[in-house]
């Protein structure tokens, strides 16, 4: 089975990133080695500082979860090089029960396609065409199970000529200087001697004892001895040709492992072929794809942490198999085909739930992991000052801090120091923790920046407002809100684009120039969104 991605929401915060890392580590510690932490957005400065402090790399960045060619159970027939014989290709098709084989060059890149129809068409042409052109001697010996009789004197790599089976007139017919002839004979010494005298291009001796003088012959004739009979040789000799002479080279439709299934279907609707080569990122052939493989694609598998809303989840969510959800937000709109495990608790951090799971399953997180999880709980509960914070959050964070031998106060100071706020682009600051909500036919975007001193951010108020107005116009939002949450003031400054009256009705504070301060408001999830829901619900 394929790996299982553990991913948080878009524009991930520290709790979301760490939840993916910690839960994947928990499952892998239990022997489920296929779990892999992932993210679907950029990592903000706060999270980056915590990852660096505790020695973790950012999770794998995934842009979307749409089904790709790499998720399909495509066929993996042998890929034959262009120099192999038609005989080998035919036997490979028969043994592998394959109707089409990919033909590759020396580095494994796509050279062409060979189908059973190509071989059949070639075989039919040999009935009326007796001339053989530049047949590699190496291939000839392989197919005829033969030996080169005059190996010491014959150095030509290819043979050509009209194919004949020895009868009295076979070499009496005038054919120029006699070179343009490939002659098959049996135990016929006189025929052999005459053929060497006339400098026949190639002489194939079937089921006959080889005389010493033939081996010592200096005639410029390729002499091959084979244990096969003449009739078999006459049939097999054509199959000694390399497949590059017959395979299809033009207008080949191929796909890469990273191609999306939706795009592949579009191409197949316009194509008449049955099989298509599959290439890797280096354009090497890795398999063959047919329409059959598209009927029941193998979906990517994901575990969702810190969210359960499709608008906050990975693009292409409708094409994945959701295995599990671990969250501390309200239940939203995600639907599944099969029943799944859902763990949703009214706590302040997803990592609080995951810490409890470590404890329940008897797995001790490493000191570094414990420190990172403690930082995530502090981040999401705003150092335990958020109204979403519970006694369980505090207890779990303290327990993790003891395992990690760290101070929660020290981590908290590092978390909420907004470094370089004066120099960073406004868009980067705004989108560091940004979410979109749909409430009673209202579309709103809400960003939250948590800091220990809001003055530096408020000094860039006009820049924030200009960006928010543009965002509202581009996305057709009813409201765009920025929460600048000051941990020391224990409140949030709100900048917004939208109706003054509705904002005043929702929060009971008279706005001044599209701004207001809400004392005691620390949580977007539990204080901002519920008030807007009550207003429009």
**Low-confidence winner among 101-105, 210-214, 497-501 (lowest mean pLDDT):** 210-214
pLDDT by residue (tens digit) across 270-319?
Answer: 888 888 999 999 999 999 999 888 887 888 899 999 999 988 898 888 88
- Provide the b/e sequence for 398-411 (b: ≥16 CB within 10 Å): ebbbebbebebeeb
N-terminal to C-terminal alpha carbon distance within the chain: 44
Q: Which of 277, 261, 259, 279 lies closest to 269, judged by CA?
A: 261
> What pLDDT score was predicted for residue 340?
94
pLDDT by residue (tens digit) across 215-242?
Answer: 888 778 889 999 999 999 999 999 999 9
> What pLDDT score was predicted for residue 368?
98
pLDDT by residue (tens digit) across 454-506?
Answer: 998 999 999 999 999 999 999 999 999 999 999 888 999 999 999 999 999 99
**Pairing verdict, β 100-104 and 110-115:** antiparallel
| Whether this model's pTM surpasses 0.85 | no
Q: What is the dihedral of CA 53, 59, 60, 61, to 10 degrees?
A: -90
Do 4-67+300-415 and 426-536 fold alike per CATH?
A: no
On average, the pLDDT of the chain sits at: 91
Q: Which of 460, 410, 378 lies closest to 14, judged by CA?
A: 378
> What pLDDT score was predicted for residue 178?
57
For residues 416 and 458, the model is more confident at: 458
Instruction: Please state the separation of Cα 50 from the chain's center in Å.
Output: 29
Q: Which residues make beta-bridge pairs with 450?
A: 485
Identify the band that residue 426 occupies on the pLDDT scale cut at 50, 70 and 90.
very high
Q: Reduce the DSSP state of residue 483 to 3 states and report it.
A: strand
Report the alpha-carbon distance of residue 126 to residue 314 in Å, rounded. Answer: 57
**Low-confidence winner among 4-13, 173-182, 350-359, 376-385 (lowest mean pLDDT):** 173-182
Name the CATH superfamily, with its identifier, for domain 426-536: DHHA2 domain (3.10.310.20)
Q: Reduce the DSSP state of residue 515 to 3 states and report it.
A: strand
Q: Reduce the DSSP state of residue 275 to 3 states and report it.
A: strand
pLDDT by residue (tens digit) across 133-171?
Answer: 999 999 999 999 999 998 776 677 888 888 989 865 444
Strand order in the sheet with 147-148: 131-136, 158-165, 181-185, 202-206, 222-226, 147-148
Q: What angle do CA 258, 323, 287 make, to 5 degrees?
A: 30
> What pLDDT score was predicted for residue 174?
42
Identify the band that residue 248 occupies on the pLDDT scale cut at 50, 70 and 90.
very high
Tell me phi and psi for residue 178, to 5 degrees.
90, -5
> What pLDDT score was predicted for residue 150?
85
User: Tokens for 186?
Assistant: 């049996």
- What is the average pLDDT across 514-526? 93
Q: Which of 414, 354, 345, 405 lies closest to 383, judged by CA?
A: 414
pLDDT by residue (tens digit) across 42-98?
Answer: 998 899 999 999 999 999 999 888 889 988 889 999 999 999 999 999 999 999 999
User: Tokens for 301?
Assistant: 């598998």
Domain locations along the chain: 4-67+300-415, 426-536
- What is the average pLDDT across 436-448? 93
> What pLDDT score was predicted for residue 420?
64
Q: For the domain with range 4-67+300-415, which CATH number is right: 3.30.565.10, 3.40.50.970, 3.90.1640.10, 3.40.470.10?
A: 3.90.1640.10
Q: What is the dihedral of CA 426, 429, 432, 437, to 10 degrees?
A: -60
> What pLDDT score was predicted for residue 176?
39
- Provide the b/e sequence for 100-114 (b: ≥16 CB within 10 Å): bbbbbeeebebbbbb
């Amino acid at each position: 089975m394929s790996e299982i991605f553990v991913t948080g929401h878009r524009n991930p915060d520290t709790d979301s990133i760490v939840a993916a890392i910690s839960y994947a580590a928990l499952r892998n510690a239990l022997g489920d080695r296929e779990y892999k932490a992932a993210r679907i957005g950029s990592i903000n400065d706060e999270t980056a500082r915590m990852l660096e402090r505790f020695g973790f790399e950012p999770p794998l960045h995934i842009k979307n979860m749409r089904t790709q060619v790499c998720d399909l159970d495509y066929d993996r027939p042998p890929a034959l090089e262009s120099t192999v014989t038609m005989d080998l290709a035919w036997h490979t098709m028969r043994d592998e029960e394959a109707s089409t084989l990919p033909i590759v060059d020396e580095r494994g890149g796509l050279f062409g396609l060979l189908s059973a129809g190509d071989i059949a068409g070639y075989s039919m042409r040999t009935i009326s065409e007796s001339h053989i052109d530049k047949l590699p001697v190496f291939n000839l010996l392989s197919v005829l199970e033969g030996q080169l009789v005059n190996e010491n004197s014959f150095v030509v790599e290819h043979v050509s000529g009209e194919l004949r089976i020895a009868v009295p007139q076979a070499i009496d017919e005038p054919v120029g200087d006699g070179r343009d002839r490939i002659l098959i004979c049996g135990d016929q010494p006189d025929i052999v001697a005459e053929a060497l005298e006339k400098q026949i291009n190639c002489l194939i001796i079937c089921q006959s004892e080889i005389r010493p003088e033939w081996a010592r012959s200096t005639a410029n004739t390729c002499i091959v001895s084979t244990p096969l009979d003449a009739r078999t040789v006459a049939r097999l000799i054509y199959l000694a040709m390399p497949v590059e002479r017959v395979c299809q080279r033009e207008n080949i439709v191929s796909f890469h492992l990273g191609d999306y299934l939706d795009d592949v279907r579009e191409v197949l609707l316009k194509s008449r072929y049955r099989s298509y080569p599959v290439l890797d990122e280096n354009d090497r052939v890795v398999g063959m794809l047919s329409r059959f493989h598209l009927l029941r694609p193998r979906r990517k598998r994901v575990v969702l942490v810190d969210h359960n809303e499709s608008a906050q989840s990975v693009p292409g969510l409708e094409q994945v198999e959701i295995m599990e959800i671990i969250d501390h937000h309200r239940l939203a709109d995600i639907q599944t085909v099969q029943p799944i495990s859902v763990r949703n608790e009214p706590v302040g951090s997803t990592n609080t739930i995951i810490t409890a799971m470590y404890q329940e399953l008897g797995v001790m997180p490493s000191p570094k992991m414990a420190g990172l999880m403690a930082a995530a709980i502090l981040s999401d509960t705003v150092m335990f000052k958020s109204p979403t914070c519970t006694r369980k959050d505090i207890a779990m964070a303290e327990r993790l801090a003891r395992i990690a031998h760290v101070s929660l106060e020290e981590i908290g100071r590092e978390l909420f120091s907004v470094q370089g706020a004066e120099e960073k682009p406004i868009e980067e600051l705004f989108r560091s923790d940004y979410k979109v909500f749909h409430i009673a036919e209202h579309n709103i975007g809400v960003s939250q920046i948590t800091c220990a001193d809001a003055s530096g951010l408020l000094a860039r108020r006009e820049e924030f407002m200009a960006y928010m107005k543009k965002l509202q116009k581009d996305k057709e939002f009813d409201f765009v809100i920025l929460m600048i949450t000051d941990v020391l003031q224990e409140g949030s400054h709100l900048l917004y684009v939208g109706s003054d009256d509705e904002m005043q009705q929702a929060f009971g504070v008279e706005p001044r120039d599209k701004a207001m301060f809400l004392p005691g408001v620390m949580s977007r999830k539990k204080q901002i969104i519920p008030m807007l829901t009550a207003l429009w619900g």
